[in-house]
Chain A
């Protein structure tokens, strides 16, 4: 495919990102920077109750307030929607019932923000409180009151139960078996930009336009059409540059639909920007997750079988939960060969803001559990934890026991580089008391192999247009959320056409103007948009080369494009400026406008649940973390992080490093500080002051190591980097704390209180562990038995052309 053997001109070079200048001058327009003539300001009234029936809503006083133009409640927007076809359980405003404190129940549009806010206080809502369900245990134990009645039973949202191979046989072959329990606390994305949307209904055209800070304009378009009962082609969504997403702006949101509805009712543009507090309620962040893992090994550390159970706290709505449920058990197998594997998960509803995808979507929790569990296993066996992993690694070009197809795999190189760079062998177990080093590995997908809603169309399409001025425009629905998708598209197109990224004009993220891209989620953009851009640019180049070849009198195959010039490789003096070649091509072929479409390869698995996990490729990471712990205060200070990432090939190394550093930062927040916690049905700290996250002062140095494996399916060999590197940092910190102090904190975040408690317990002769004590009493249904790939691990699928 797009893997290139020739020397590259702009791919792999540390060039500034194409949107850097707009961002460094304050010119980039984010959603809340937009305004339109006669625009109204919208605000949402939030439920004060975590779980209640709405007995009455009276908006008459609000409507009487001068400056208020419209007020809506749930009855005005009653159509259900949701990001996943199986999770159509949301309404833009609560209808008859509220399911979490902070859920919007009414919306106001007014001439200015102060009036809108004043109007909120004039809306009377009468609630009849129901018992709130606030934890996994409660949700499993209490079938009543039910948060939703569309699920078959009680407050159980989704279930998964699969077995690959024969776990009983695998455990029978084991010399040693260990089991552990872990809890991963929920946390939130905390993008610096609050969500914001500006809607404009044009009654003459019967058309709605929404500018929104969203990662998924296409899915928002679909949800708006559904919720507002409009034809999809009468809804235009323009994603504005996203001021931080991390997964938190991947769902269709209340304020988007309310702004649209208010605009339709008033005939005026309406903007709603969430307050910071509302951003905490919008959430869709990390699921709190209780996990149990049991592994059988041979004396030498080779895994014979594994069982993994996960209990996910989904909050009040589905969101991406059906996928998250499977992600709890899907990727354990892409780092390690597990001959017999059983995975069971349950996602419950609780009366809290809905959980969803946060960077790493559903996989940081199980990765944390798995990597700490393996660290303990290694200690039990007297093995170096690195050695234990090396004995179980997957390799390139293999199919996992759950039918995931690994192409390139640089995990072994990542581990070797980390061991070397961090001084692991010299440091592990040898540092003075209080200082420690920890290690872990991880892997992630390069784009979900299946779309959110079933269809057999491409996941990503790019159009490239070359005009007679030599100007090149690339059209793509991809939205830059800071990860650098604009730069990836521009770099790929520029490389193919012999231009520079700054030469490429971009039209992006507009459902009217740009061809499909499903969105900036699941680390799919470099792989999918990159390949589509490559194909479109290659087709344009072909036309330009054919025209230039005739003019220069050389065969097409001898032409090359570089430095804005098309030239004969053998005799570079035979050359045309790119713009001249473009004019010749237009004269000969008409408009130079070409397309590329990307569709991920067919998945190999056919069992129910096999839709979650397949990806064109997987990225790999390994990490070592050195910590200094204070046994007096319990404080954990991260001194240094080494992170090696199998990137395939970097499209732009500055962007890659930036994603690694940002991932490390976010992981450190999750493992040491951050928690989305609740008390008496209410969010404990819906403010940045109370929601503790790392500042510039806590950020340690990070050594980023890029491992190149030249992924055959990636554009120019590239793989993802936006999410994978986060995963291994969290368990590496936990393992480092053990190396430093000899205590195990099996529950995030690792706070000073927990460290002190574990030390105290250890001093009293206990095991020195803080973490969950009991697995909930829950009977999973018998797992569906899935045959392993024949001849596993040596099964080779038929490669696509």
Chain B
């Protein structure tokens, strides 16, 4: 079937319907008035200028736009801002604590897990949610957890190694070898 080359979605009229939303992003409370069809991705990048969150398709296929919603990874391109009323959002900008990088960030930098870096924010957040619930994951668990985020540069090997290293450093000495 031929692709729809004009890519229709929302009309301008719909864009004018707005709703109030309160949310907590990286510990900071916000009250916003957003169009009801506005995605969390757009709100983060355009309204809050948190451009660390990336996009590669905006239709739920690449995982670049992953953020944590109450600690769980979600695709922000498929999440409407109005749906996250009252919830907690973590983006890559929220990984640092008091100027100190998260062990995953350090491990990604040191192990060469970032090349072009475009998938890195999504990888970091997805890995964080994994380590938060499973501090010493097996390699298979890591692969499973990260499988929704594509990376075209690294071949994933150094990403897996970085997650393993961070797990070890976060106090799980018996993590996978």
Contact = CB atoms under 8 A, between A and B. Distances in A.
B151 interface: yes
Contact of B114 (A23, A32, A46, A701): A23
B40 interface: no
A243 B6 CA distance: 25
Interface string B146-166: 110111111111111000000
Contact of B155 (A28, A242, A686, A702): A702
Contacts of A662: 115, 152-155
Nearest to B50: A26
A676 interface: no
Interface string B91-122: 11101100001000110111110111111110
Nearest to A682: B2
A47 B6 CA distance: 9
Contact of A118 (B11, B52, B147, B152): B11
A277 B3 contact: yes
B48 interface: no
A701 B160 CA distance: 11
Given A243-B116, A244-B118, A66 B12 contact: yes
Among B10, B101, B105, B116, chain A packs the most CB atoms within 10 A around the CB of: B116
Interface in B1-22: 1-3, 5-12, 15
B150 A693 contact: yes
A168 interface: no
B59 interface: yes
B120 A696 contact: no
Among A20, A47, A664, chain B packs the most CB atoms within 10 A around the CB of: A20
Interface in A150-196: 189-194
Given A243-B116, A696-B147, A24 B152 contact: no
A16 B162 CA distance: 12
Interface stretch (A348-356, A572-580, A653-661): A653-661
Contacts of B51: 26, 29, 33
B58 A275 contact: yes
B58 A114 contact: no
Interface in A676-691: 680, 682-683, 686-689
Among B57, B120, B157, chain A packs the most CB atoms within 10 A around the CB of: B157
Contacts of A32: 55
A101 B119 CA distance: 29
Interface in A236-290: 241-246, 275-277
Interface stretch (A322-330, A479-487, A705-713): A479-487
A29 to B, nearest CB: 7
B62 interface: yes
Nearest to A665: B155
B118 A243 contact: yes
Contacts of A764: none
B112 A26 contact: no
Given A661-B158, A699-B157, A241 B116 contact: yes
Contacts of B54: 30, 192-193, 243
Given A24-B105, A65-B12, A117-B7, A661 B154 contact: yes
Contact of B160 (A191, A654, A693, A696): A696
Contacts of A33: 45, 51
B152 A48 contact: no
Given A191-B152, A688-B150, A696-B143, A683 B3 contact: yes
A447 B175 CA distance: 43
A27 B50 CA distance: 9
Contacts of A67: 12
B157 A21 contact: no
The A contact surface, by secondary structure, is: loop
Contacts, number: 204
Contact of B3 (A29, A65, A686): A686
A563 interface: no
A120 interface: yes
B5 A47 contact: yes
A658 B112 contact: yes
A312 to B, nearest CB: 24
B146 A246 contact: no
A33 B52 CA distance: 8
Among A22, A66, A114, A117, chain B packs the most CB atoms within 10 A around the CB of: A114
B53 interface: yes
Contact of A190 (B15, B53, B124, B152): B152
Contacts of A64: none
B64 interface: yes
Interface string A299-313: 000000000000000
Contacts of A45: 6
A93 interface: no
B7 to A, nearest CB: 6
A482 B116 CA distance: 4
Interface residues of B, number: 64
Contacts of B57: 276, 687-688
Interface in A480-501: 481-484
A19 interface: yes
B61 A276 contact: yes
A121 B53 contact: no
A112 interface: yes
B56 interface: yes
A687 B111 CA distance: 31
Interface in B31-79: 45-46, 51-59, 61-62, 64
B111 A46 contact: no
B81 to A, nearest CB: 15
A584 B117 CA distance: 40
A654 B152 contact: no
Given A25-B96, A276-B58, A112 B115 contact: no
Contacts of B160: 696
A276 B111 contact: no
Contact of B156 (A190, A483, A665): A665
A483 B6 CA distance: 34
Contacts of B121: 26
Given A114-B12, A117-B7, A699 B156 contact: yes
A470 B62 CA distance: 44
B98 to A, nearest CB: 14
Among A658, A693, A701, chain B packs the most CB atoms within 10 A around the CB of: A658
Contacts of A241: 116-117
Interface string A218-231: 00000000000000
Among A26, A101, A682, chain B packs the most CB atoms within 10 A around the CB of: A26
Contact of A696 (B64, B116, B156): B156
Interface in A483-531: 483-484
B112 A120 contact: no
Given A20-B108, A192-B119, A115 B156 contact: no
A192 B62 CA distance: 8
Contact of B56 (A194, A246, A695): A194
A115 B16 CA distance: 11
Interface string B126-158: 000000000000000001101101111111111
Contacts of A190: 152
A30 B64 CA distance: 13
Nearest to B3: A686
Given A192-B64, A657-B112, A482 B15 contact: no
A5 interface: no
Interface in A720-771: none
A17 interface: yes
Given A482-B115, A662-B154, 10 more contacts: A17-B114, A66-B12, A112-B15, A115-B15, A192-B64, A192-B150, A193-B116, A482-B153, A687-B59, A699-B155
26 contacts: A16-B110, A17-B112, A21-B101, A23-B117, A25-B92, A26-B52, A26-B93, A28-B117, A32-B55, A101-B5, A114-B9, A117-B7, A190-B152, A192-B150, A192-B151, A242-B116, A243-B116, A275-B58, A277-B3, A655-B112, A658-B158, A661-B156, A663-B155, A688-B56, A697-B144, A699-B157
Q: Which 4 A-B pairs have the closest CB atoms?
A: A26-B52, A482-B116, A23-B117, A243-B118
